[in-house]
Amino acid sequence: MKYGFFDDERKEYVITNPQTPFPWINYLGNKDFFSLISNTAGGYSFYKDAKFRRINRYRYNNVPMDNGGRYFYINDEGTVWSPGWKPVKTELDHYECRHGLSYTSIKGEKNDIEAEVVFFVPLNALCEVQKMKLTNKSSKTKKIKLFSLIEWCLWNAEDDQNNLQRNFSTGEVEIHGSTLYHKTEYKERRNHYAFYHVNAPIQGFDTDRESFIGLYNEFSHPDAVFTGKPKNSEAHGWSPIASHCLEVELQPGESKEYIFLLGYVENTEDKKWESKGVINKTKANRTIEQFNSSEKVNRALDKLATYWDNLLSNYSIHSGNDKLDRMVNIWNQYQCMVTFNMSRSASFFEVGIGRGMGFRDSNQDLIGFIHQIPERARERIIDIASTQFEDGGAYHQYQPLTKRGNNAVGGNFNDDPLWLILSTTAYIKETGDFSILEEIVPFDNDESRAKTHFEHLKASFYHVVNNLGPHQLPLIGRADWNDCLNLNCFSKDPNESFQTTENQTGGSAESIMIAGLFVVYGKDFVELCRRIGRKDEVDNAQEHVDKMVKSIKKHGWDGEWFLRAYDSFGNKVGSKDNEEGKIFIESQGWCTMAGIGKNEGMCEKALNSVKKYLDCEYGIVLNHPAFTKYVIEYGEISTYPAGYKENAGIFCHNNPWVMIGETMIGRGDQAWEYFRKICPSYLEEISDLHKTEPYAYAQMIAGKDAFKPGEAKNSWLTGTAAWTYYVITQYILGVKPSYDGLEISPCIPKTWKSYTVSRKFRGAVYEISIDNSEGVNCGIKELTINGETMHKNVIPIQKAGTINKVNVKMG
Ligand code: GLC
Ligand code: GLC
């Protein structure tokens, strides 16, 4: 069953039934000020950091689901309803939610009143705009009361939920005309406040939650709304809110617009106050002034649309297949921007308090993003590298506000360093900007210990070389990409986290996934050294890569597939000899991407085994058979029930690795089949089962051993976004940035006859048409650029500003 439809023309997903199988959300904001918004207007906003600068309160995992948001209530002569259906849940005559690129528009209609609210965060602004349009569709005059509601969070989202003995006494507000200010802790160490404004006179307001709602009521039944009487309450402690009440009279056919603004302000110490105890409102007024009319707001909306059109125009395809085109041209790129901005911090599954920017996650996210805004990608790479240690190791995450690494989610994940080589080389291939390598970048944020960025990459490379185990394979450390394969942990205590608990000393478990990863990015490192004339590095590095290939062939092959690891006793993990977890996806992906044993048929065998043991109707599961009991020497992986998460779930992030592997041996049909299985637009019809948004990838889909195979969880913030974008654009559609130009090497299903790609690359445009009338998977017979025949498949870089016609004939 579907709950809406794609409107590709407007780049929107339109939800027509508010009761989606799970809240279907969108993200507003592109820099600094962000909001999450569900299809019923639930969610919250924050400034830069979802934990430390949470603006409004949101209650995760509550009853009902999706509790808290920016709510509007209409009291139309006793009939009370909300345009987004929630929180009142009065049945609407019409409902529609349009999630677009960085905006959401929600429209509700009841008894001939239509209310349409457009929510967005304007570019370069520190506020969320809510443009409310009320229309009287009846033939008589209507007098209604409109109430808004925001519940303030006392800034630190974690403390806000816990430290009630303090928090119930600290809340402070200020009321000034139609603007309601939240200034808790502003008089002490905070330099920020928030405000909620409407550009019209108000009949009344509330700033104290209990006065507005009533102690024993719910969001669905606020006292003030149902009685039609705001209490003009002033919060002192307890739970401050902001609610406006407007009296609106509408003639038949008449529409009125109101602009609500939820804003954030930072002031320097000397500019905090206007007078004793009265906050300085200069900046707030400036923001209000910027968006206090429909015209100004519409202009800001237009700018936002242009901004997105521009970003998306860097890569677009026409394949004649809507489901594919809309993912590549719109939604997958959009999700890549979201993961770039959020890392794994704030979604409807990530509560915005636990996880900052992940070292490995953020590096990987970049491969889906660099072509959109390379300058921001560059800045991000340097931010990440600045948290690295001198020996190449890394904190697992850093906090976006301070940009400092921390141990909150553990450390010693030995795959971490290598991803920096991926992001940096991807950045240089896209931009040609080798100067990033000469940038002076601190270690552990300590400026006195800074070296060139190139030295950071070298440290990453040698971190693996310097940490080899008994089989000359990389030591896994706490875990590799698979956070839950904790081979040195041996945890017996349910109160400790697998991520942060003390590892057994001298842990000697080894990872074949890291080995494959090292070969892939080790080769890239060697190539990079060659390009920048670091001949002194080349031979040495190459030797280490060659040795690793040998070790994998010797100790990492199990006959039909690649082993996954050696545990800390030196026993094989992911082998036919194991009872459970005989085969794992990660090492098949990375070793085939690295082309290990390709000539000897190892890649093909490994991929055939993936098909045979790991593939299922909804994607490729992580391991097989699923673990059914806790294996203490494996750790968290065996804690999950069979078929979920890292225990034989379809952990979508790693599926593209196998797709790339398939393209390495030319199997375009298989690569595509795997792509299609996890692609959300192809799952729209089974939304009841799939549950999460049909326009965003989820981290995990329950695998074949699960209770409900095919059910997805944890949508939005997943490496799947970047990797699927990377594999479809570069390996399947086959348009790949390289140091020397655009490399063209499609690997597609035989049945595809033709498609076109428009790619902006280093300032020039390439209009590429691919002709596959011969019905092959891969191979190029003829390639011309502007009519001129090329003898290799890399199109040399053309002059900036030019538009170039590229014709490719496969065969
Ligand atoms: C989550 C983590 C990521 C990890 C993956 C597999 O997606 O964010 O870092 O690699 O799980 O465990
Ligand atoms: C990753 C994994 C998850 C694990 C978590 C621990 O996100 O996906 O299964 O519990 O890391 O931090």
Q: Which atom belonging to ligand 2 lies closest to the Cα atom of 355?
A: 12
| Both tokens assigned to 87 | 């929180």
Strand partners, 743: 736, 794
**Main-chain phi, psi angles of 109, to 5 degrees:** -135, 135
Whole-number pLDDT of residue 598: 98
Q: Report CA-CA distances (Å) from 320 to 323, 685, 695, 752.
A: 9, 19, 18, 10
Q: Which atom belonging to ligand 1 lies closest to the Cα atom of 479?
A: 12
Contact 657, 590 (CB under 8 A): yes
Q: Which atom belonging to ligand 1 lies closest to the Cα atom of 344?
A: 8
Tell me, in angstroms, the distance from the centre of ligand 2 to residue 484's CA.
6
Q: Whose CA is nearest to atom 11 of ligand 2?
A: 483
Predicted TM-score of the model (pTM)? 0.97
Three-state DSSP class for residue 108:
strand
How much of the chain, in percent, has pLDDT values that exceed 90? 97
Q: Which atom belonging to ligand 2 lies closest to the Cα atom of 714?
A: 8
Segment 415-429 shows an average pLDDT of: 98
Q: Is 430 in the pocket of ligand 1 (CB under 6 A)?
A: no
| pLDDT, greater one: 359 or 499 | 359
Q: Which atom belonging to ligand 1 lies closest to the Cα atom of 481?
A: 10
pLDDT at 409 exceeding the cut of 90: no
Q: Is 483 in the pocket of ligand 1 (CB under 6 A)?
A: yes
Q: pLDDT band at 504, cuts 50/70/90?
A: confident
pLDDT at 572 exceeding the cut of 90: yes
Give the residue, out of 415, 416, 484, with the most ligand 2 atoms within 8 A of its beta carbon, to mutate for a pocket test: 484
Give the residue, out of 496, 636, 720, with the most ligand 2 atoms within 8 A of its beta carbon, to mutate for a pocket test: 636
Segment 599-611 shows an average pLDDT of: 98
Whole-number pLDDT of residue 796: 97
Segment 728-755 shows an average pLDDT of: 98
Whole-number pLDDT of residue 144: 98
Whole-number pLDDT of residue 401: 84
Whole-number pLDDT of residue 361: 97
Ligand number nearest CA of 354 is 2
| Both tokens assigned to 289 | 């002034």
pLDDT at 732 exceeding the cut of 90: yes
pLDDT at 400 exceeding the cut of 90: no
Segment 68-91 shows an average pLDDT of: 98
pLDDT at 407 exceeding the cut of 90: no
Strand partners, 737: 742
Tell me, in angstroms, the distance from the centre of ligand 2 to residue 760's CA.
36
Segment 291-320 shows an average pLDDT of: 97
Segment 287-298 shows an average pLDDT of: 98
Active site residues: 483
Tell me, in angstroms, the distance from the centre of ligand 1 to residue 315's CA.
27
Whole-number pLDDT of residue 411: 84
**Average pLDDT value over all residues in the chain:** 97
Please list the helix, strand and coil fractions of the chain in percent, rounded to the nearest 5, in that order.
30, 30, 40
Q: Is 646 in the pocket of ligand 1 (CB under 6 A)?
A: yes
Helices and strands per DSSP (H, E), number in the chain? 20, 45
Whole-number pLDDT of residue 507: 81
Tell me, in angstroms, the distance from the centre of ligand 1 to residue 255's CA.
49
Whole-number pLDDT of residue 410: 81
Tell me, in angstroms, the distance from the centre of ligand 2 to residue 483's CA.
6
DSSP assignment of 337-397 equals HHHHHHTTSBSSSSBSSS--EEHHHHHHHGGGTTTT-HHHHHHHHHHHHTTB-TTS-BEEE
Question: What DSSP state is assigned to residue 444?
Answer: T
pLDDT at 264 exceeding the cut of 90: yes
Give the residue, out of 361, 413, 621, 647, with the most ligand 1 atoms within 8 A of its beta carbon, to mutate for a pocket test: 361
Tell me, in angstroms, the distance from the centre of ligand 2 to residue 728's CA.
26
Tell me, in angstroms, the distance from the centre of ligand 1 to residue 562's CA.
21
Tell me, in angstroms, the distance from the centre of ligand 2 to residue 409's CA.
10
DSSP assignment of 587-644 equals HHHHHHHTTTTTTTTHHHHHHHHIIIIIEETTEE-SEESPP-S--TTTGGGGGSPTTB
- The model's pLDDT over 118-132, given as tens digits with 9 standing for 90+, comes to 999 999 999 999 999
Q: Is 646 in the pocket of ligand 2 (CB under 6 A)?
A: yes
Q: Which atom belonging to ligand 1 lies closest to the Cα atom of 718?
A: 7
> At a CB cut-off of 8 Å and minimum separation 6, what does 597 contact?
552, 553, 557, 591, 603
Whole-angstrom Cα distance, residue 121 to residue 264? Answer: 12
Whole-angstrom Cα distance, residue 149 to residue 257? Answer: 17
**CA 607 to chain CA centroid, nearest Å:** 28
Q: Is 358 in the pocket of ligand 1 (CB under 6 A)?
A: yes
pLDDT at 506 exceeding the cut of 80: no
Tell me, in angstroms, the distance from the centre of ligand 2 to residue 394's CA.
18
Whole-number pLDDT of residue 172: 98
E-assigned strand segments in 251-282:
255-266, 273-275, 278-279
Segment 263-278 shows an average pLDDT of: 97
Segment 729-751 shows an average pLDDT of: 98
Strand partners, 197: 179, 261
Segment 439-461 shows an average pLDDT of: 97
pLDDT at 85 exceeding the cut of 80: yes
pLDDT at 402 exceeding the cut of 90: no
Closest Cα partner for 81 from 18, 38, 3? 18
pLDDT at 206 exceeding the cut of 90: yes
Ligand number nearest CA of 657 is 1
Contact 10, 98 (CB under 8 A): yes
Ligand number nearest CA of 485 is 1
Segment 186-203 shows an average pLDDT of: 98
Q: Which atom belonging to ligand 2 lies closest to the Cα atom of 699?
A: 8
Instruction: Please classify residue 493 by burial: count the beta carbons closer than 10 Å to its beta carbon, then call 0-12 exposed, 13-18 middle and 19+ buried.
Output: exposed
| Both tokens assigned to 286 | 């400036």
- The model's pLDDT over 477-498, given as tens digits with 9 standing for 90+, comes to 999 999 999 999 999 999 999 9
Segment 75-89 shows an average pLDDT of: 98
- The model's pLDDT over 308-351, given as tens digits with 9 standing for 90+, comes to 999 999 999 999 999 999 999 999 999 999 999 999 999 999 99
| Both tokens assigned to 170 | 């600290």
Q: What is the largest CA-CA distance in the chain?
A: 84
Q: Is 699 in the pocket of ligand 1 (CB under 6 A)?
A: yes
The single-letter code of the amino acid at 246 is: L
Q: Is 622 in the pocket of ligand 2 (CB under 6 A)?
A: no
pLDDT at 754 exceeding the cut of 90: yes
Three-state DSSP class for residue 222:
coil
Tell me, in angstroms, the distance from the centre of ligand 2 to residue 413's CA.
13
- The model's pLDDT over 345-392, given as tens digits with 9 standing for 90+, comes to 999 999 999 888 999 999 999 999 999 999 999 999 999 999 999 999
Segment 275-289 shows an average pLDDT of: 98
- The model's pLDDT over 760-808, given as tens digits with 9 standing for 90+, comes to 999 999 999 999 999 999 999 999 999 999 999 999 999 999 999 999 9
Q: Is 360 in the pocket of ligand 1 (CB under 6 A)?
A: yes
- The model's pLDDT over 636-686, given as tens digits with 9 standing for 90+, comes to 999 999 999 999 999 999 999 999 999 999 999 999 999 999 999 999 999
Segment 689-703 shows an average pLDDT of: 98
Q: pLDDT band at 505, cuts 50/70/90?
A: confident
Ligand number nearest CA of 415 is 1
The 3-state secondary structure of 491-517, one letter per residue: CCCCCCCCCCCCCCCCCCCEEHHHHHH
Segment 291-295 shows an average pLDDT of: 98
Segment 141-162 shows an average pLDDT of: 98
Contact 620, 607 (CB under 8 A): no
Q: Is 243 in the pocket of ligand 2 (CB under 6 A)?
A: no
* Rounded CA Rg of the chain: 28
Q: Is 484 in the pocket of ligand 2 (CB under 6 A)?
A: yes
> At a CB cut-off of 8 Å and minimum separation 6, what does 616 contact?
650, 703, 704, 709
Q: Whose CA is nearest to atom 6 of ligand 1?
A: 482
Q: Which atom belonging to ligand 1 lies closest to the Cα atom of 358?
A: 9
Segment 681-700 shows an average pLDDT of: 98
Whole-angstrom Cα distance, residue 461 to residue 529? Answer: 12
Q: Is 361 in the pocket of ligand 1 (CB under 6 A)?
A: yes
Whole-angstrom Cα distance, residue 726 to residue 139? Answer: 55
> At a CB cut-off of 8 Å and minimum separation 6, what does 215 contact?
none
Ramachandran region, residue 277 (left: φ > 0; alpha: ψ -120 to 50; beta: rest)? left
